[in-house]
A and B are shown apart, each in its own frame.
Chain A
């Protein structure tokens, strides 16, 4: 017989015996879900026996494991060569119990608490236990966005942990790789509009045996991406970290016993659930909070070159959020009314949403080390099936799901900010975080003559939102990685064939307010020593997802600047002036005065483009956005305005128009704001406001007429049509708010734009032999 193991026959020899308790993994998981649902406590743990009987032993175990996870991350990241991992820390390690529920996680991109758990659950629900089998020393690799990964460039290595032959848990490690072999280079590219262009996709594949990566995997995976050197070192980073953590768990069990470890691995999740509820009660206020955010998807423009005609339209992502905090401290996040997914790369799987949210929450509501699946269990999510955050089609692209995710969360900052404000915890208020963009990406032949891709993680330092007691931080943070860092110029110049001609704080980028949003920054890059080089832009431009709070303005939106045929080679040779530093005032552009008059310049709001060619000495402006503001700008301290003027954080025109500042400027260019004159001017501005405004209900009559006339841009009508198509409730609320006739309707087919996918869709769950894991109310 041409078979080596007669017992296999489609089932691994240890099938049904992995846990040593007579149950398959799936049966065991079903039991936990049942006990959780029946009691409201994770795994039915109404009492935390270990924690209550031996609190010190419990805390010691916690510290050992958490310390080990953080240590493994710090140590393993030194193996990586990719600056995204090594400089920016875009990696994370997480420990799971046997059923894939998260016990503890390291620092870093902790969105993956749930995404790797979702992969483990997918293996459980689809009987990986039988085939391909789960054995000590195995490694599984996953980046499949249809089962919970955020975007394909987050590659996860998942290793089962055994003790005396029985499966007791899992450890997962994830890194953000530089390239995934998508249609265009960079890890979060825009050129593809479906999964099939999103790059190399791996579904919980067994890629290693006996702690050794399989050779077919090594060969196939490295040639499937543009940057194999970075790829392989990233994989070694993940494997090393996972094995360190597996060793740590073995050491803990040797010291404290299996019983203590296993009790801990379940009790800590119930403790996490209770922890979130007690934080909600300690910091917020019961009630309903309604917020909304949007993202522009301007795909009609000729600089967005995609392969499919049906993707060529302008559309808008709509993310309404109703946050209900109940009297018992539990809460519900309801996104009823969200717009449909689309033919682009910004769609998000439900797990990317429900898991990702903790990377934000750990920066505000739960700033603890105890992030695990308990927080998820204390939260009810409603994500309508078919929406951008829960697609119902297996073709969707996800390469930059973050674009929509962080924008969707912008609403949550403001909801929580309202709660903190009303309760008096002013120090906690954050009007939001900047939309993380622009993302500079591209590739070609780099300065070392190799095929290369770039994805600048300077973007991990945008402005934060204003607080209720102080300004936001300038160029300081990214919502998706609490430990973000803009990185050193010297490192980026080694990683990218792009010289810096400037790196400056971006004036007027922080939203105005009594306290202003943190300013973003801008870097001017010149292509240098590259061949066949391409780049593209990726960010918001026509719209802004972050609103201000309580009278503060949103931050500025994006724009793009690129220049070709600049003549800089000759200008450098003859010592002529060069474009250096900031694009200080885009109303009066200055860069153009230091390049050839015949240069080809693109300066507009089209902030999403696809791969375009750049010659050496071409220019690219990478402008990172600022954060939103808090409070009426007329309440801002004159001294703070003066400081902003003197640091070039604010252009003089707007100090007058927005803040009502009356100021002088001396011969050295130093600004002085006159407090008394400013106060008088502000009184005038208040009168001017009242004079130009109308009662809201009067304005509503005009707006209602525009709706009856269907007078709005096609992208606005398209957004409402897709939301109406998914939610009768949203439509009827809309119609009743505007008092529209019963027969008023708005459908995609009347808009005259491609509506491919609006009627006929096929979910992954409809594939034969596939059992998807649903973790939200749909």
Chain B
């Protein structure tokens, strides 16, 4: 099974026709997906750094063009931190920890009670994109939720050369 670059680009944009999407869901996975996915994402960002691994809708691990360091970068160009750090610690945070802040986004009775649970919204400090919403109890450590093994993935799983890393 294989899909065209255009089909993968449409998938990324949420514009792929349902028939093809359904085939993607029901048939064995296309091994070439990752490379086409990277190409589609690369065409959609305004920076020159090479995307190594997508982390979130508007956030990638990139190989910085100047010095080949792997860093976590927002689509707007803002750099959060090194690729193996928790980007949330370098973000801007807004915590919904009062009833008033919660009812700003939910009708009465339909939000958590902030004595039990709060919502932590993590924004890009430059462009204001909301990259994640955590919903933990008060006191909960900021979760470092993903530490990919990029080398093993490129080398052993998708048979691609591992991008150079300074």
Which residues of A pack against B, CB within 8 Å?
281-283, 285-292, 294, 296, 316, 318, 327, 414, 418, 421-428, 468-470, 507-509, 512, 514-515, 541-544, 547-548, 550-554, 556-557, 559, 585-587, 603-605, 631-635, 651, 653-654, 657-658, 685-690, 692-697, 699-700, 703, 706-707, 712-713, 715-716, 719-720, 733-734, 737-738
Complex: chain A residue closest to B95, CB-CB? A699
19 interchain pairs, CB-CB under 8 A: A287-B149, A290-B144, A290-B146, A421-B56, A422-B54, A424-B34, A424-B36, A425-B33, A542-B115, A544-B135, A551-B56, A587-B103, A635-B57, A694-B93, A700-B142, A716-B116, A719-B137, A720-B139, A733-B141
Contacts A689-B94, A696-B90; A713 near B116 (Cβ below 8 A): yes
Asked if residues A512 and B116 are in contact (CB atoms below 8 Å), the reply is: no
Asked if residues A547 and B143 are in contact (CB atoms below 8 Å), the reply is: no
Asked if residues B147 and A286 are in contact (CB atoms below 8 Å), the reply is: no
Asked if residues A428 and B117 are in contact (CB atoms below 8 Å), the reply is: no
Q: Does B105 lie at the interface of the complex (its beta carbon under 8 Å from any beta carbon of A)?
A: yes
Complex interface: chain A residues within 8 A of B136 (CB): 292, 294
Asked if residues A288 and B146 are in contact (CB atoms below 8 Å), the reply is: yes
Q: How far is the CA of A635 from the CA of B145 in the complex (A)?
A: 23
User: Of the candidates A296, A551, A657, which one forms a contact with B130 in the assembled complex, judged by CB atoms under 8 Å apart?
Assistant: A551
Complex: chain B residue closest to A506, CB-CB? B110
Complex: chain B residue closest to A603, CB-CB? B109
Chain A facing B: main interface SS:
mixed
B38 to chain A, nearest CB (A): 8
A280 to chain B, nearest CB (A): 10
A659 to chain B, nearest CB (A): 10
User: Of the candidates A290, A426, A470, A694, which one forms a contact with B12 in the assembled complex, judged by CB atoms under 8 Å apart?
Assistant: A426
Contacts A469-B14, A542-B116; A282 near B109 (Cβ below 8 A): no
Asked if residues A424 and B33 are in contact (CB atoms below 8 Å), the reply is: yes
Contacts A427-B24, A543-B112; A716 near B139 (Cβ below 8 A): yes
Complex: chain B residue closest to A426, CB-CB? B11
Complex interface: chain B residues within 8 A of A712 (CB): 137-139
Which residues of B pack against A, CB within 8 Å?
8, 11-12, 14, 16, 21, 24-25, 28-29, 31, 33-34, 36-38, 53-58, 88-95, 103-113, 115-117, 119, 121-123, 125-150, 152-153, 156-157
A315 to chain B, nearest CB (A): 10
A547 to chain B, nearest CB (A): 5
Asked if residues B105 and A699 are in contact (CB atoms below 8 Å), the reply is: no
Asked if residues B152 and A693 are in contact (CB atoms below 8 Å), the reply is: no
9 A-B pairs closest in CB distance: A686-B128, A424-B37, A693-B92, A559-B109, A287-B148, A556-B110, A737-B141, A286-B149, A713-B115
Q: How far is the CA of A707 from the CA of B140 in the complex (A)?
A: 10
Q: How far is the CA of A381 from the CA of B153 in the complex (A)?
A: 23
Complex interface: chain A residues within 8 A of B148 (CB): 285-287, 422
A420 to chain B, nearest CB (A): 10
Q: How far is the CA of A223 from the CA of B149 in the complex (A)?
A: 58
Contacts A424-B34, A715-B115; A291 near B145 (Cβ below 8 A): yes
